[in-house]
Structure 1
Amino acid sequence: MSNLQNHVLIVDDEYLIAEGLRAQVEELGMVVCGTAATADRAVALAQQFRPIIVLMDMRLQGDKDGVDAALAIHETVGSKLIFITGSREPATMARIQLDHPSAVLFKPISDTQLSTAINVALGL
């Protein structure tokens, strides 16, 4: 069984982006405990696996967004949140800041950007 301290949850409603993030995370030697396309699924997986890091897209399937999921995960699990978004709209950025994320990355993200953001979130 792998160390739960290196588990990462990926939340993105676009399958190909989620799988690309999975490959990047696994290249860093971390374990992806699951992927979710909706806020409710993200919260359920976070509560089940208690990941150290959650990579969170802003726009998700359903009527809840990434901030809704992030706030619930932060409150119940305490995972570090890294938002990954394609939007730089002021309203989106203000909403993301409600959760005090460890980082906000803009798509597309490089391996170096992801690695740096994860290391900062983990205090490395």
Structure 2
Amino acid sequence: MEKPKFRVLIVEDEFIVGLHLESILERLGHEVVGVVADEAEALHLVASERPDLIVTDIHLAGGGDGLKVARAGQESYGARSIVITGHRDGGTFLRAEEAGAQAFLRKPFGLTEVETVFSRL
């Protein structure tokens, strides 16, 4: 059985990381509805594009919070979320789980890691 394809919003303030993820997701057959770096723009796209899935870093440009974006997407539109993080501490994972994250994607990542995380959704 083929896995579902998602409409994905990427929220990542490292430009190269966002583009890398976009390329991988498109290669896997998902539709990327936007790649943004800050909380305000992400919240705007959540409302206008209503993605199925939000893949977000925790710390965003301008002091924004990716977990706030994930929570808003889930509460308003039922969007799932995957948290991107370079942190390995338990507090980071606990905050993300409390925000409703379904999975984690640890930096650095490549095709195999993304495919593995998405296969569990």
> If the length of structure 2 is used for normalisation, what is the TM-score?
0.88
Q: 112-121 or 49-58: which moved more? A: 112-121
Aligned partner of 2:97 in structure 1 is 97
Q: How many pairs are equivalent?
A: 117
- What amino acid maps onto 1:33 in structure 2? V
What are the within-5 Å matches in structure 2 for residues 19-38 of structure 1? 19-38=19-38
Partner secondary structure for residue 104 of structure 2 = strand
Structure 2, gaps ≥5 residues long:
none
Is 2:82 the counterpart of 1:82? yes
When the two chains are superposed, the root-mean-square deviation of aligned CA atoms in Å is: 1.4
- Post-superposition Cα deviations, 1:31-68, rounded to whole Å, max 9, x if no partner, equal 11101111221121111111111111111012331111
- Structure 1 runs (4+) deviating above 3 angstroms are none
- Structure 1 residues without counterparts, runs of 5 or longer: none
8 Å contact 2:57–2:83 — kept in the other structure? yes
Q: Is the 2:8–2:31 Cα contact (8 Å) retained in structure 1?
A: yes
| Aligned equivalent of 1:67 | 67
3-state SS of paired residue (1:105): strand
Identical-pair percentage: 33
What is the CA deviation profile of residues 75-116 of structure 1, one whole-angstrom value per residue up to 9, with x for unaligned ones?
A: 112111011100112322221111231101210112122122
Q: 1:28 is aligned with what amino acid? A: L
